[in-house]
Amino acid sequence: MTYDFSNKTVLITGAAGGIGKECARLFLDDGAQLILVDLEPNALREVADALGAPERITTVAGDLTDQNVLNEVRATVEIAGGLDALVPAAGIYRDRDVESMSIQEWRQTMSINLDSVFQLTQAVLPHLHDHAAIVNFASLAGSRGSRNHAHYAATKAALVAFGRSLALEIGHRGIRVNAVAPGIIRTQMTDTLVTTNGELLLQQTPLGRHGTAQEVATVVTFLCSEAASFVNGELIQVNGGLYMTG
């Protein structure tokens, strides 16, 4: 399935990650201009080079919790003439049980997974075109909880509530805010989880397999397209039915 994003500008954070990179590829294939953001400059450069079409890709490397980086992203958006889609895909997933979790570990996850999404959204909101789309990244963990990932699960649940609240505030501009909730998607972020609990998770997944980054990215592009023009405030589960079991 392809959509027409010609003359549309899309901002993707976490663009060097497995899902972010695949989102960038699909949007580019469908004609979009891309602003790609990631913490790792070398990885970001490699992604941009691999995608090709340098005339349609602008990159910003840095930590979005840094105000200077946030200012650079906002300036880049202004130069681009605004945004038609915002996809904040950056995040971290660290193992730690609540009893031994330090306040620094809690705050780091909150800062990267939640605070940075709020700050980025607030920064670019005046530059979102009417009828634009925002797709946040929730998680199965945000609905069910996750052993040894309470901080991660809390941020993902909060992003759904944040997005729905935002949808109520900016719906009059025709801007839609939705979220996707991936399950076990084979990326570098989930390598440890798959290694330790992969077989159990496969048994609990009705489709009997793990997902791919492309299967998440296709839902993201759908939600940003005209095909989803009346989908708003929704959470789409992309986890092979795992959310129903366990």
Sign of CA dihedral 125, 128, 132, 134: negative
Helix %, strand %, coil % for the chain, to 5? 50, 20, 30
Do 47 and 22 contact (CB within 8 A), yes or no? no
DSSP bridge partners of 149: 96
Query: In this structure, what are the phi and psi dihedrals at residue 16, rounded to the nearest 5 degrees?
Result: -90, -5
pLDDT of residue 224: 98
Q: What is the pLDDT of residues 83-111, one digit of tens each?
A: 999 999 999 999 999 999 999 999 999 99
Q: Say if strands 235-238 and 9-13 run parallel, antiparallel, or are unpaired.
A: unpaired
Laid out side by side, the sheet with 83-88 consists of: 57-61, 33-38, 9-13, 83-88, 128-137, 176-182, 235-238
Q: How far is CA 3 from CA 51, 64, 180, 224, in A?
A: 18, 29, 18, 9
Q: What is the model's pLDDT at position 192?
A: 61
Q: For the chain, which residues make up each domain, given as ranges?
A: 9-244
53-59, long-range: CB < 8 A, 24+ apart: 53/28, 56/28, 56/32, 57/28, 57/33, 58/33, 58/34, 59/15, 59/35
Residue at 73: amino acid letter:
V
pLDDT for 206 equals 83
CA distance 205 to 154: 23
Q: How far apart are CA 101 and CA 62, in angstroms?
A: 26
The pLDDT of residue 198: 57
pTM reported for the whole predicted model: 0.93
Which of these CATH numbers, 3.40.50.1370, 3.50.50.60, 3.40.718.10, 3.40.50.720, describes 9-244?
3.40.50.720
Residues 6+ apart with CB under 8 A from 161: none
Both ends of the chain: CA-CA distance in Å? 32
**What whole-number distance in Å separates Cα of residue 70 and Cα of residue 38?**
12
**What is the Cα–Cα distance from 35 to 76, expressed in whole angstroms?**
8
67: helix, strand or coil:
helix
Instruction: Quote the CA–CA distance of 236 and 219 in Å, as a whole number.
Output: 8
Look up tokens 């719906």; give the residue: 171
The residues carrying an active-site annotation are: 152
| Residues in the chain, pLDDT under 50 | none
